[in-house]
Structure 1
Amino acid sequence: MTVLDTRALNRATLARQLLLDRAGLPALDAVGHLCGLQAQEPQEPYVGLWSRLRQFEPAALSGLLTGRSVVRMHLMRRTVHLVTADDAVAWRARHAAMLRQRVLGVYRNEFDGTDLDGLAAAGRAVMADGEPRTTTEVVGALAGRWQAPGRRALGEMVVAALVPVVQAPPRGLWRTRAGVRNVLLSSWLDQDVDPSVADATDPVGQALVRRYLAAFGPAASADLRAWCGLAGLPAAVAALREELVSFRDERGRELLDLPDAPRPDPGTPAPVRFLPAFDNAILGYHDRSRIIDDAHRGLSVAGERVVLVDGRVAATWSVDASTVVVTPLRGLHRADREAVAEQGAELAAFLSYGASRRVRVAGAPR
């Protein structure tokens, strides 16, 4: 079985994640290809798409949100993702048990003896009129009847797990600050979620596996689970075995992939790319060593924005008074610093509507 080294996996990941060459895709197609973008920080998907698409305009993504072609919702790993409306409908039921269990894992005994099915029905009834409501408003309408769980636990269980909801705009619009207002997914999209759940062959799970490999492969089953948070995908993987190809990584793990998916030559040059906080190019794997050193793995869960140099995390970045500030994690060669500065200036212009191209790269060249 062919062994793919870390650099080969890195270049495959960059190609699948639209980070090796910026793609000429519409924003909606890019969101779909990427299986959604992590969006717990509302503005971060704009940088994620800017780094991946040619001539990306923030208004395009805002328009998709207001036009209800993409939605913000709790989904993979119980984190807020920006996904296409079609994927929200197709995937929400398949994630329902995981969402419930993750909330129960956080609040443990607070829901002992609680009729969760009854709570779900009550939550849907509160939001049945289709009006967006804050979580506080939802909890306020329920608290009189459901007094056992704490108010925060009650709110998270209802809007993040039991009831399929989306976060209505203006939350998530470009350069807009707005709190979370929840509305039933069925009201917002005028259609119910696909009720399909796992069966003997798990067709929804099979679709998830194919989509994941297209955007993240080659990858191990543990990587797939780390991305979506679902434990019950072995049946889906088994059903797809004959249409997949297999590799090994340098640790001996089996990696699965779609046969015709891009796996570029490991020597392919990789341009500098600025990634937003919590980008799935990093978080979408259990073994993240293909893109980030183990010593810096904590950055990926701490919300640090990072810079890829030669395809790997080499710096963090932030914005201070319209200046993009880059802090290398190691010494950068002069040519790399120049490439980082050039791309940082482009990012500063994007974030400021062209008013600034200021960038500062800390440290001295190697």
Structure 2
Amino acid sequence: MTSSPAGFGHLTPERMLDAMEHAGLRPDGRLLQLNSYENRVLQAYLEDGSAVVAKFYRSGRWSDAQILEEHAFARELVEAEVPVVAPMMLEVDGQATTLAHVLGDRFAVSPRQGGRAPELEDPEVLRWIGRFLARLHEVGQRHPFEHRVSWNTAQPAREARDWLRDHDILAPDVAPQWHDAAERCITAIQAAFDQQPQLRSLRLHGDCHPGNLLWTPDRGPHFVDLDDAMQGPAVQDLWMMLSGDPEAARRQLDALLDGYESVREFDWRELRLIEALRTQRMIHHSAWLARRWEDPAFPLAFPWFGTPNYWSDQVVKLREQLDAMQIEAEKASGLPSWD
């Protein structure tokens, strides 16, 4: 399987400690690797007894402009008292920045902020999360991103499809079926967006699933990372919080929107985009795994990826999503509910 360079083979603990010292930090040598596939993220203990979180960015994924725009969004949220952990200002070669370039690596440092997974079975927790996301979106609507990616069309799915095709990733016996299903899904995704001619686009968290949301008793929900921040519709930050059977997901959505609309109006027509966004994420995720396959962490974590069975299963799922998007397209556009 052909993929992009891993980019972390050189990143030894000694190199990371040297980079942090060059940026004005005083680590005491203790590092604890944290869970992250896309970047290398570590908890570093400092000589003064405190601890910070250092994120070393994967080469070639985001440009400096995209990362700095994410950092600016996080700091803007903090100024608006939205509970997000923003990167710290560092001083590198006499220049203050949130994105350090040291020894050929790029990294950011943020305060350590703990938390646990939210209890999504509790409607009050979901209402609180809804209010939190509405506050984030209030800031997000002030002005658009200039450099971050946009999920307002089917373009992310097209780019993922094209990369998989151009790099001959799929098993030959299933490639025609997958490409046919993906092409029909991309057409349906674009049609779903086209049916929302006045779609409001704003700055989003972008990857808002329960694993990226932390909870503390005093602060409630908060984010410690905005690495996938994007431009798109508000519903992108809501649908991944839903789980279970359709009835359970409906109850969760009702609680989320009850909290959300106590702070900010939600355009209920966006609910028609959920299946399109889900399908786009599926296609995008397959390409993301393929692009990272030379990183040793990925074959260990996703041993099932790339097998004929994986691609056959994806064909089935994409066809199911095509049916789901067709059902949404046939529903009366005026219904203010998700059913």
Task: Please indicate the TM-score interval, normalised by the length of the shorter structure.
Answer: under 0.3
Q: Quick one: higher RCO (CA 8 Å, sep 6+), 1 or 2?
A: 2
| TM-score, normalization by structure 1 | 0.21
